[in-house]
Amino acid sequence: MKKNEVEGLSPWKIAKRRFVKNKLAVLGLILLGVITLGAVFGPMLTPYEAHEQQMMMRNQGPQGDNLLGFDSTGRDILTRVLHGGRVSLAVGIVATSVATIIGVVLGSIAGFYGGIRDGVIMRLVDIVMSFPFFIIAAVASAAFGPTVFNTMLIIGLINWTLIARVVRAEILSLKEQEFVEASRALGLDNLEIIRIHLIPNVMAPIIVYSTLTIASAILIEAGLSFIGLGVSPPTPTWGNMLEAARSLTTIQNYWWQWIPPGLMIFFTVLSINFVGDGLRDALDPKLKE
């Protein structure tokens, strides 16, 4: 490459450049990277199993090999925090994928076709948005069982409405652009226009909202598990580790049982939110550097 050549800057390259300039977002990304790596590879590094009990060590504090001590049944907290990270992140990502797919498909159908399809889909959005979430979650987990998979599904099925609305609104204005008319004149059918031309134009808000949905899904999973409706013990998640440590004695005497999972939730959600905000600024076409 010659130096003075003007290089074609794709929208992605421009966004990347803007993102890197945002210090908080980069910090969030690094933190999130560390947490993810810890969740993925961490459990392989600790010598204990998540369910392995050492009865002699119940409620023992941090010492030697056990950096974060033991819980009330003698399980290694560090190991469980790392395993819990896998579950929490997986729930966040899978639930968000479910929500994003539903939201994008329904939102683009509603926005593009309008008329009765729009009416039906948007009323469905209104209905889902007025569900009392925890009651639905309680019913669902009672009916289908409090497994990881069901938790992912429930969170995903409730959280697609925001993305659907955003996608619909964007497509409503995009479909009036002349390039849509031009693609039609060039022989593309409706589905191709939506798939090839419209959705890539809506990618920026989709990415931003999905990122923020991951954060809220992790929080919801923790909340559900804390009240016993999410992933059921003994599978470790940050939420049910907090649940196990919620007695007053534990909170007063055994800080190592509840501070680590609490901090993990806090840092994960915070870093995802930083990344989400950074992405929003980086992908906003109206902002010129």
Partner 1 sequence: MEDITLKAQGIKTSFQTSEGKVVAVNDVDITIREGKILGVVGESGCGKTVTALSIMRLVPEPNGKIEEGRIEFMGKNLLELSSEEMRKLRGAEISMIFQEPMTALNPVFSIGYQMKEMLKLHRGMTDEQATERAIELIDMVGIPRAEKVIKEYPHQLSGGMRQRVMIAMALSCDPKFMIADEPTTALDVTIQAQVLELMKDLNEKMGTAIMFITHDLGVIAEMADDVVVMYAGKVVEESNAISLFHEPKHPYTMGLLRSRPDMLEEGEELQSIKGMVPSLLRMPEGCPFNPRCEHRMDICVKEMPQLIEVKPGHKTRCWLYDDKGGK
Interaction between residue 120 and partner 1 (CB under 8 A): no
Altogether, the residues listed in the chain come to a count of 289
The Cα 60–Cα 242 span in angstroms is 17
Contacts of 92 (CB under 8 A, 6+ apart): 214, 215, 217, 218, 221, 272
Cis previous bond, 234, omega within 30: yes
Please report how close the Cβ of residue 188 comes to partner 1 at its closest, in angstroms: 7
Interaction between residue 119 and partner 1 (CB under 8 A): no
Interaction between residue 52 and partner 1 (CB under 8 A): no
Q: Is there a contact between 243 and 226 (Cβ–Cβ < 8 Å)?
A: yes
Q: Which is nearer to partner 1, 186 or 248 (CB)?
A: 186
Q: Please select the residue that binds partner 1; options are 36, 59, 72, 183, rule is CB under 8 A.
A: 183
Six-digit token string for 70: 């033991």
Please report how close the Cβ of residue 124 comes to partner 1 at its closest, in angstroms: 23
DSSP three-state, residue 63 = strand
Q: Please select the residue that binds partner 1; options are 132, 186, 286, 288, rule is CB under 8 A.
A: 186
Q: Please select the residue that binds partner 1; options are 31, 124, 188, 207, rule is CB under 8 A.
A: 188
Q: Is there a contact between 218 and 269 (Cβ–Cβ < 8 Å)?
A: yes
Q: Which is nearer to partner 1, 47 or 187 (CB)?
A: 187
Distances from the Cα of 218 to the Cα of 199, 233, 239, 255, angstroms: 26, 17, 9, 22
Please report how close the Cβ of residue 173 comes to partner 1 at its closest, in angstroms: 12
Q: Which is nearer to partner 1, 59 or 201 (CB)?
A: 201
What is the contact surface with partner 1 in residues (CB under 8 A)? 8-11, 115, 177-179, 181-189, 192, 196-197, 200-201, 203
